[in-house]
Amino acid sequence: MFLENIIFGMLIKQVMEKLKVFNSKDLAKITQHRSGEIKFGEKILTVPANENWKEFITNCNAKFVLIGLPEDIGVKANMGRVGTASAFESALKSLVNFQHNKFCKGNELIALGEIDFSNEMEISKSLNQQDKEDRKKLFSLVENIDKEVSFVISAIVKAGKYPIIVGGGHNNAYGNIKGLALAKGMPVNAINFDAHTDFRIMEGRHSGNGFTYAFEEGFLKRYFIFGLHENFVSKSVFNTLKSIEDRVKYVTYEEIGVRKEKSYTNEITQSLKFISNTPFGLELDLDAIPGIPSSAMTLSGFSVEKARQFVHLAGSENNASYFHICEGAPDLDSSNNNHLTGKLIATLIIDFIKSKKFEEN
């Protein structure tokens, strides 16, 4: 057991720069050309060979940087159902085949690449989430992922760009928030469109406590959870939220969508007032949208149109500094339409890019 732990430690210490930078051929391979049309993939920028990625994105006119986090270890460490690792690949395949036109142009986006978590994913496959010792190892793997994510997000923000991050599990909120806070040199805020708070106890890192760790470690100042489901939040988490209500607020899905006590757009305005005075992260968990394959998939919740409206309104705030879409799990979709999760993620990416145009006008 002792030796096993040493080997495990050595394996996960292989922390280097794990960023796999895309080149134009990576996009060309998945872009389906059609005469008379210009596809997004023909215009999206990639880092030229032999150029330093940080220098390239700093000097580039494009404002948005796309980055993928192909992992589902945070979900596994949270006892969930894996399948989020393929979401980025699926989203990219749809995105490159969208139309480049007057509403949105491909060259506004740099497809930077993905963080290569294949080493962690391989180790994770051999671990049993029900086993106490194995679960601790899963927590360590998530900490490893956190370091990589916060490093890359911080570098993108320092380059003056908006990271658009496709998860992976919601554990990655922690790395995003920390990365943004480190780049800005101050604690930041976050708004989260989610059925869950992901403010569960600090029992070890997983997809259910990214915001707790970011809050307790001083990276997250104010947090708003938009549309959480009353049935999915424990009494103890509600008590915790009550004790810090000056810094963490929420509105439930049931208050807006079921009992109609509050209006959707008015609640978005109120929630944005709470967090938009300082740089903030925009988080969207696909398990809040009915019927989207994810670990905690549900059939009730805000529609795709409502989610798009939310991204549009929140993204158009000057201080909205990154957009993270997570928990989508194409691998859990057994239908012959399992490309649709990626297509939805690509649609939301474009909604965020378009929302920023209002900032300039």
According to CB under 6 A, which residues from 124 to 183 bind ligand NIG? 170
Q: Cβ distance 227 to 263 under 8 Å?
A: no
- Quick check: 252 binds ligand NIG (CB under 6 A)? no
Nearer to ligand NIG, 78 or 321 (CB): 78
- Residue 79 CB, nearest approach to ligand NIG (Å): 7
Nearer to ligand NIG, 112 or 288 (CB): 288
Nearer to ligand NIG, 155 or 329 (CB): 329
According to CB under 6 A, which residues from 35 to 64 bind ligand NIG? none
- Find how far residue 27's CA is from the centre of its chain: 21
Calculate helix-pair angle for 87-95, 340-355, nearest 10 degrees.
Answer: 60
- Quick check: 295 binds ligand NIG (CB under 6 A)? yes
- The residues near 192 (Cβ < 8 Å, ≥ 6 apart) are 173, 198, 211, 223, 224, 225, 226, 283, 284, 285
CA distance 257 to 251: 11
Could you tell me which residues are beta bridge partners of residue 188? 220
CA distance 113 to 124: 22
Please state whether beta strands 320-326 and 162-166 pair in parallel, antiparallel, or not at all (unpaired). Answer: parallel
Please state whether beta strands 64-68 and 109-115 pair in parallel, antiparallel, or not at all (unpaired). Answer: parallel
Would you tell me how many other CB atoms lie within 10 Å of the CB of residue 21? 18
The residue count for binding ligand NIG (CB under 6 A) is 12
- Quick check: 325 binds ligand NIG (CB under 6 A)? no
Residue number of the CB atom closest to ligand NIG: 208
SS3 of residue 165 by DSSP: strand
Choose, by CB under 6 A, the member of 31, 78, 84, 189 that binds ligand NIG: 78
Stretch that binds ligand NIG, among 96-104, 194-202, 253-261, 330-338 (CB under 6 A): 194-202
Calculate helix-pair angle for 2-12, 118-125, nearest 10 degrees.
Answer: 160
Choose, by CB under 6 A, the member of 198, 331, 333, 351 that binds ligand NIG: 198
Unique residue bearing structure tokens 């708004």: 191
Stretch that binds ligand NIG, among 35-43, 49-57, 158-166, 200-208 (CB under 6 A): 200-208
- Quick check: 293 binds ligand NIG (CB under 6 A)? no
Stretch that binds ligand NIG, among 83-91, 149-157, 192-200, 317-325 (CB under 6 A): 192-200
Binding residues (CB under 6 A) for ligand NIG: these are 78, 80, 170, 196, 198, 200, 207-208, 285, 295-296, 327
